[in-house]
Chains A and B, each alone.
Chain A
Amino acid sequence: MHFTFTEEHEELRRTVRRFLEQRSDEQAVRRAMETERGYDDDVWSQMAGQMGLQGLIVPAEHGGAGLGWVEMMVVLEEMGRSLLCAPYLSTAVLAAGALVEAGSEEARSEILPGIASGETIATLAFVDDGRGWDVADVQMQATKDGDGWKLSGVKNFVLDGHTADVILVVARGPDGLSLFRVDAGAAGLERALLPTLDLTRKLARVSFSSTPAKRVGASGDLTSQLRRVLDLAVVGLVAEQVGGAQRCLEMSTEYARTRLQFGRPIGSFQAIKHRCADMLVSVEFAKSAAYNAGFTAAEGDGDLASAAHIAKSYCSEAYFHAAADNIQIHGGMGFTWEHPAHLYFKRAKSSSVLFGDPMQHREQLAQSLGI
């Protein structure tokens, strides 16, 4: 593992940061999070048209940039930093990732070009109602229906499930776990936007009742491919967490430098300074965890599952503590609706739970280590 970001990576980071500073500042985030759709169409189109972000990991033959997980990590770190409100994690990470890793050739050519161009919002419906974020938890059955398939049941916590044009459903067919495509407007499909703790990320509950579906998974049982899809989604999410945590650290230190009480900056008190120093240590550790997972994903030959478990456990907690300490350091101001600290706090908690919470990832790591 070498952890070296190239000049191209740094250039990508600068470009994305500039774009998000202009198009996803605090005001833009607040506007978007108040809407039901949850994002701004213009920003979404620019992300695709000007920057090609939706197609980052989409192969060139399907209209994408054909880049890898290190680039994805750089982009998501910036998105997490600015709390971008967009169906990016659902479309460009989960759905595109699922198709690249586990989709049939036909499905890839049908769906990926629309994702890359920004025209298609897509998502992955994974979690069965009442179950968790593990492939073994998926019990929903797909039943054969003439040439096609039918789905019945409920998928919960579907990212952007209320706006997605294409929903990729993880369900069990006769030869095991696979992917099934359901389009917006399909018969028997019901979608309900959920009242989320974190307003900047929309979740829906999606019900299927004999809903017609098309099988889009590659042939055979896709358990191991879908496991990798989840690991890659974790890589994306931990990069976001690192970006958010770094921003919380910056907000805290900036405030600690300028806020005066008892005639001096509060950052000169060790009670505040040491809290900031501890935050720095955990943000740096979180970066090590996230970058290790990202480079492992990109190089493709390491133990991605362990790297993802380590990263999801550590980065979730590091972000949450940074966001919580950020409120504390800002004092009363940090508790107000007007101040952005609560936006990071809510994002931190929800992203800690999404894709499996720290304890679940530690449990899986413990099993693999024989602890």
Chain B
Amino acid sequence: MKTMSEAELRERTRALLAEVHPDKVDRTTFRRAQFDHGLAWVRFPEGHGGLGLTANLQQIVNDEIRKNAKTFYEDMAINPIGIGMGGPVVLTHGTEEMKKRLLRPLFTGEEIWCQLFSEPGAGSDVAGLSTRAVRDGDDWIVNGQKVWTTLAHLSKWGMLVARTNPDVPKHEGMSYFLLDMQSPGVEVRPLYQITGEAEFNEIFMTDVRIPGDRILGHEGDGWKVAITTLMNERTSLGGGGGSRGSGPIATLLRLWKNREKAAFTQASEAVMRDRITQLHIECELLRLTGMRAKAGLRSGIPGPEGSVGKLAMAEINKRLWECSLDVMGSSSLLYEAGYELKRPELHGRASRVEEHAKYQFLRSRANSIEGGTSEVMRNILGERVLGLPGEPRVDKNVPWKDIPRGV
């Protein structure tokens, strides 16, 4: 790892801004230049958008850009899956050629990425997946179905894990491919969810041909490569930002303030107050635990506080929005926004606070399912943090093809 002083890094950032300024050029032009200056992700090597520095120095670059420009492009708004998971996995497991070809347009957002892991028959047990990739000369022919794919309808690249050898135990028989989403045989369909919106997609692959050089890692390494991706996903989820009393709890307090006072008896008001206060406490402790986790990371001795955020956030969030509907009383019989089946608006929904709460009431059910269900998270905490033994497994050392599975 190279070192560079904060002052020099700021100097380099100002040099970039002198050459191209985000307030004056379009996003692609600016982000291309940012990449070429090694300021896209400073922890990446030189020539691949970085400078070979430690990851935390990226804050310096972002801070300097924010200070000197009105326009700031948030990575997560541009290409969340690509930047959060695609970049790291290509850097760790990709060939030099792949890095040259893929990283720059990934960073600029010219090429959006998505992740093709989950299947209708493989959710928490993603390693049980059954999408098949079969060799055909130098190429691979893929058949199968994927689900819960964010941004697939806008994506150029999909990170695909498929089964290449069904005759070995499940973890050993997968490979990791980069799928061109425009390939013939790839069909993307919106997956309408509980809110009526389709944030996600279903992907149907019928005799899709993938060139042999689009495999990441070696044949059979799919699980190992996928783990790199999933690790990056877990660190990108989980709460802990913001200031005291901000975020969802502020919305709940606002709803409480606006409540229909005549609808509450003294007793029901007292019960509600205690529920809201409990939620305020839990939101504050979620925030403080996130701060402790960050302090633990900085000190180099991350403790268990870092692992509990995802589980706690999901469970608290659900209860908070449940409470918000109880605060609204009879008006919770209505869903003013309606359930029109559609794609969500990209830049957020401008709606009344009541409508926002009702939307969140529905959307938050996914918090304890997406990115690892709360049950899986409890297994992880129990086994990796507390050292409890795993379940006896019926699928260990059994060829994948012999494992019972539903339809």
Query: Cβ of A272: which chain B residues have Cβ within 8 Å of it?
Result: 388
Structural contact, B389 and A268, CB atoms closer than 8 A: yes
Within 8 A of A (CB), among B343-385: 375, 377-379, 381-383, 385
Q: Chain A 55-95 against B: per-residue CB contact (8 Å), 1 yes, 0 no?
A: 00000000000000000000000000000000000000000
Total interface residues on A, using CB and 8 Å? 39
Determine the chain A residues whose CB is within 8 A of the CB of B378 once the complex forms: 270, 273-274, 277-278
- Of the residues B253, B281, B308, contact of A314 by C-beta under 8 Å: B281
Q: What residues of chain B lie closer than 8 Å to A291, measured between beta carbons?
A: 288, 292
B281–A268 CB distance below 8 A: no
Contact A362 B292 (CB under 8 A): no
Interface stretch, picked from A112-120, A131-139, A281-289, A347-355, is: A281-289
Cβ of A218 < 8 Å from any Cβ of B?
no
Which residue on A lies nearest to B284, using beta carbons? Answer: A310
Please give, as numbers and ranges, the residues of chain B lying within 8 Å of A3 by CB-CB distance.
288, 291-292, 295
Contact B281 A371 (CB under 8 A): no
* Contact residues in A for B311 (Cβ distance below 8 Å): 277, 281
* B378 → chain A closest CB, angstroms: 4
Q: Which residues does chain B contribute within 8 Å of A365, judged by CB atoms? A: 277, 280-281
CB distance from B384 to the nearest CB of A (A): 10
CA distance A270 to B308 in the complex (A): 17
* Shortest beta-carbon distance from B329 to chain A in Å: 17
User: Do the beta carbons of A285 and B273 come within 8 Å of each other?
Assistant: no
Q: Are A371 and B389 in contact (CB under 8 A)?
A: no
- Mask of A328-363 contacts with B, CB within 8 angstroms, 1/0: 000000000000000000000000000000010011
- Select the residue from B273, B308, B379 with max chain A CB neighbours within 10 A: B308
A260 to B388, CA, bound (A): 13
Q: Does A4 contact B (CB under 8 A)?
A: yes
Contact A268 B280 (CB under 8 A): no
Given known A257-B388, A362-B281, A371-B253, contact A270–B292 (CB-CB < 8 A): no
A264 on interface, CB distance cutoff 8 Å = yes
Q: Which residue of A lies closest to B380 (CB)?
A: A277
Q: Is the CB of A270 within 8 A of B288?
A: no
Q: Are B392 and A268 in contact (CB under 8 A)?
A: yes
Tell yes or no: B256 within 8 A of A by CB: yes
Contact B391 A268 (CB under 8 A): yes
Whether B295 pairs with A273 at a CB distance below 8 angstroms is no
Cβ of A256 within 8 Å of any chain B Cβ, yes or no, is: yes
Which of A256, A278, A359 is the one whose CB lies under 8 Å from B388?
A: A256
Cα A288 to Cα B304 with chains together (Å): 12
Interface string of A189-216 (1 = CB under 8 A from B): 0000000000000000000000000000
Task: State whether A371 touches B273 (Cβ < 8 A).
Answer: yes
B126 at the interface (CB under 8 A from A): no
**Interface flags, A1-31, vs B, CB<8A=1, else 0:** 1111000000000000000000000000000
A267 touches which of B276, B377, B382 (Cβ 8 Å) = B382
* Cβ–Cβ contact A366 & B382, under 8 A: no
* Distance between B374 CB and nearest chain A CB, rounded to angstroms: 9
Which residues of A sit under 8 angstroms from B308, Cβ to Cβ?
Answer: 280-281, 284-285
Tell whether A371 pairs with B285 under 8 Å between CB atoms, given A267-B388, A288-B292.
Answer: no
User: Across the interface, do B389 and A265 meet the contact criterion of CB distance under 8 Å?
Assistant: yes
Q: How far is the CB of A279 from chain B (nearest CB, A)?
A: 9
- Residues on A with beta carbons closer than 8 Å to the beta carbon of B29: none
Q: Does B278 belong to the interface (CB within 8 Å)?
A: yes
Contact flag A281-B381 (CB < 8 Å), given A2-B295, A270-B391, A291-B292: yes
- Write out the residue numbers on chain A whose beta carbons fall within 8 Å of the beta carbon of B385: 277, 280
The contact of A285 among B274, B276, B289, B388, by CB within 8 Å, is: B289
Tell me if A313 is interfacial: C-beta within 8 Å of chain B.
yes
Query: B312 on the interface (CB 8 Å rule)?
Result: yes
Q: Is B242 positioned at the interface, with any CB of A under 8 Å from its CB? A: no
Is B387 an interface position by the 8 A CB rule? yes
A54 within 8 A of B: no
Contact of B305 (CB < 8 Å), options: A253, A256, A284, A363:
A284
Chain B interfacial residues counted at CB < 8 A: 40
B303 to chain A, nearest CB (A): 8
Question: By the criterion CB–CB under 8 Å, are A359 and B392 in contact?
Answer: no
The reply to whether B292 and A276 contact each other, CB–CB distance below 8 Å, is no
Q: How far apart are A61's CB and chain B's nearest CB, in angstroms?
A: 34
Q: Contacts A270-B378, A270-B391, A273-B388 known; A285 to B312 CB distance under 8 Å?
A: yes
Whether B268 sits at the interface, judged by CB under 8 Å, is no
Q: Which residues of A contact B286 (CB under 8 A)?
A: 285
**Chain B residue contacts of A281, Cβ below 8 A:** 308, 311-312, 381
The answer to whether B382 and A273 have CB atoms under 8 Å apart is yes
A274 touches B375 (CB 8 A): yes
Task: State how many angstroms separate the Cβ of A168 from the closest Cβ of chain B.
Answer: 31
Question: How far, in whole Å, are A310 and B277 apart by their CA atoms in the complex?
Answer: 9
B296 — nearest CB in chain A belongs to which residue?
Answer: A3
Interface membership of B406, Cβ < 8 A: no
B338 within 8 A of A: no
Q: In chain B, what residue has the closest Cβ to A273?
A: B382
In Å, the complex CA distance between A362 and B272 comes to 12
Q: A274-B382, A277-B378, A288-B305 are in contact. Are A362 and B282 (CB under 8 A)?
A: no
The reply on A292 being an interface residue by CB < 8 A is yes
| Shortest distance between the CB of A52 and any CB in chain B (Å) | 28
B386 within 8 A of A: yes
Is B5 in contact with chain A by the CB < 8 A criterion?
Answer: no
B404 in contact (CB, < 8 A)? no
Cα–Cα, bound, A371→B276 (Å): 8
Q: Is B265 an interface residue (CB 8 A)?
A: no
Q: How far is the CB of A352 from chain B (nearest CB, A)?
A: 15
Within 281-306 of A, Cβ neighbours of B (below 8 Å) are at 281, 284-285, 287-289, 291-292
Q: Which residues of B contact A269 (CB under 8 A)?
A: 391
> Given A278-B378, A366-B273, A310–B281 Cβ distance below 8 Å?
yes
**Complex CA–CA separation, A37 to B276 (angstroms):** 43
The 8 Å CB contact of A280, one of B276, B304, B392, is B304
Chain B residues numbered 291-311 whose CB sits less than 8 Å from any CB in chain A: 291-292, 295, 299, 304-305, 308, 311
Residues on A with C-beta less than 8 A from B295 are 2-4
Given A268-B392, A277-B386, A287-B305, 15 further pairs, Cβ under 8 A: A4-B299, A265-B388, A265-B389, A273-B388, A276-B386, A276-B388, A277-B381, A281-B312, A281-B381, A284-B305, A285-B308, A288-B305, A289-B281, A310-B281, A371-B276
B-to-A contact residues, CB < 8 Å: 245, 253, 256, 273-274, 276-278, 280-282, 284-286, 288-289, 291-292, 295, 299, 304-305, 308, 311-312, 375, 377-379, 381-383, 385-392
30 residue pairs A–B, Cβ–Cβ below 8 Å: A3-B288, A3-B291, A249-B386, A253-B387, A253-B388, A267-B382, A267-B388, A268-B392, A270-B391, A276-B388, A277-B311, A277-B381, A280-B386, A281-B312, A284-B289, A285-B286, A285-B289, A287-B305, A310-B281, A310-B284, A310-B285, A313-B278, A313-B281, A362-B281, A363-B274, A366-B273, A366-B274, A371-B253, A371-B256, A371-B280
